[in-house]
Chain A
Amino acid sequence: LYPAALDYVAPTSVASALSALVDGGEDAKIISGGQSLIPLLRLRFAAPSVLVDVRRLPGMRGISVDAPDLVIGALTRHADVLSSPHTTGRWAFLRVAASQIADPQVRNLGTLGGALAHADPEGDWASVMLSASAEVTLVSPRGTRVVPVREFLLGMFTTVLEPDEILTTIRLPGKAQRLGGDYQKLSRRVGDFASVGVAVVLGVRERGLVRKQTVIEQAGISLTAVGPINTAVPVAEDLIIGEVPSTELFKGAAELVARGLSPHDDARGSADYKRAVVRAYVVRGLQNAFRTAA
């Protein structure tokens, strides 16, 4: 299984990368880590005429804090998330997610930007970024635009990215007084896609001086592998925003998530099974997110 013949360029500036994309037209394809794309090229599910390797573009790799937000360069690898000094405390849920992606070899090449742009409904990062209410920056010859991940994903393997547009950064808002998250993933074996994945992010704040009370001010609950695309569940998020965290509340949210779900029966499990797992994972994810909020 080998890719079809193709041309390859490795530009070292955004301007030259954009002109390579414009020159290549619809047949040009961006490659970063290649951990999804190269298997597709080998199966000839994709046969671009030219690959534009963006890994040499400057300033697009690494994680930094732009207080209170976290900024992740699109070329940051899954393995970089596991070793970054910034993915601790309130951002530790990013490590929880990264550690569950594929296997160590894949994590050493695959990138966050590549995973988001690829938009595989069984990919993990899209759910995490939906729950974190992250935004992506897209650069094209027409300029720069910032798009919430909730508007970025359109469907299976489909995003708002134009053929001549490059995803450069991912920004996670951190204005919550305390922030925490979790990623619960069921996969049958290492390296397999998720049978079910649930990403949760919670922002909470203390209310009242005398009778202190913790209230949820930000909530993200998103699902992997139970529909045609990773999806957030606003109806469940809205239920818990403004409320005091409790297991009862979390169970109510899980019930709403499960009720709105229509997973498929497949080799990874029956629809009923997946619904039951999602229900359990939402409760567990919310409990872990609240417990670890910092």
Chain B
Amino acid sequence: MKISIELDGSETAFDVEPRTLLGQLLRDQGGVSGIRLDCETSTCGACTVLLDGEPIKSCAMLGVMADGERITTAAGLGSGPEAVVTSVLDSDDLLPCGECRQAMQLVAAALVRAQPQATRAEIARALSGTICRCTGYQTVVDAIKTAIDGARA
């Protein structure tokens, strides 16, 4: 099936089997290696991308279902407050193994746009679909909170 997706700002054409998962399509044909297909059960959230600015799991959507949609991956995150917030998650001290990093960055970017005044509790809720096996989350929430407050100032 021939489809077209606005991927990270550029209109991109794909020829794809209907059964292909969006994450698989973006990795194999779109060259987006930052998308992780980890848990295979639509639980871990490492495959998160933004669909029209909102986080979704690219392993729980077929590629063909994204025809005509706007998809943002971590590579396509812009500047301004969202760059400030996502750059704090680049530290290897914060997210040592890096497997969930791009998902966390996308969730944080969507959050700072939707809720520029997000509280710690709201940040934790926003991250609740994105599993990290390294950190225990507290430092991640702290870093995002500090960055959000900094971006606003």
Chain A residues within 8 Å of B, Cβ to Cβ:
1-8, 10, 31, 34-35, 38-39, 41-42, 51, 53, 55, 79, 102-106, 108-109, 190-191
Contacts and interface: CB of A to CB of B under 8 A. Distances in A.
Contacts of B129: 102-106, 190-191
B42 A108 contact: no
Interface of B: 1, 17-21, 24, 40-43, 45, 48, 51, 54-57, 59-62, 64-65, 67, 107, 125-126, 128-130
List 8 A-B pairs, minimum CB-CB distance, nearest first.
A103-B129, A8-B18, A3-B19, A190-B128, A105-B129, A108-B54, A1-B40, A105-B57
Given A8-B1, A34-B61, A191-B128, A109 B42 contact: no
Nearest to B124: A190
Contact of A2 (B24, B60, B67, B125): B24
A41 to B, nearest CB: 8
A106 B60 contact: yes
Contacts of A4: 19
A35 B42 CA distance: 8
A38 B54 contact: no
Contact of B56 (A7, A10, A42, A109): A109
Contact of A38 (B55, B60, B67): B60
A53 B65 contact: yes
Contact of A108 (B18, B55, B62, B65): B55
Nearest to B48: A105
B126 A109 contact: no
Nearest to B51: A108
Residue of B126, B128, B130 with most partner-chain A CB within 10 A: B128
Contacts of A42: 21, 40, 42, 59
Nearest to B40: A1
Given A8-B64, A38-B60, A79 B19 contact: no
A6 B17 CA distance: 8
Contact of B17 (A5, A41, A103, A109): A5
Residue of A2, A31, A102 with most partner-chain B CB within 10 A: A2
Contacts of A34: 60-62, 65
A104 B65 contact: no
B67 A39 contact: no
Contacts of A41: 19
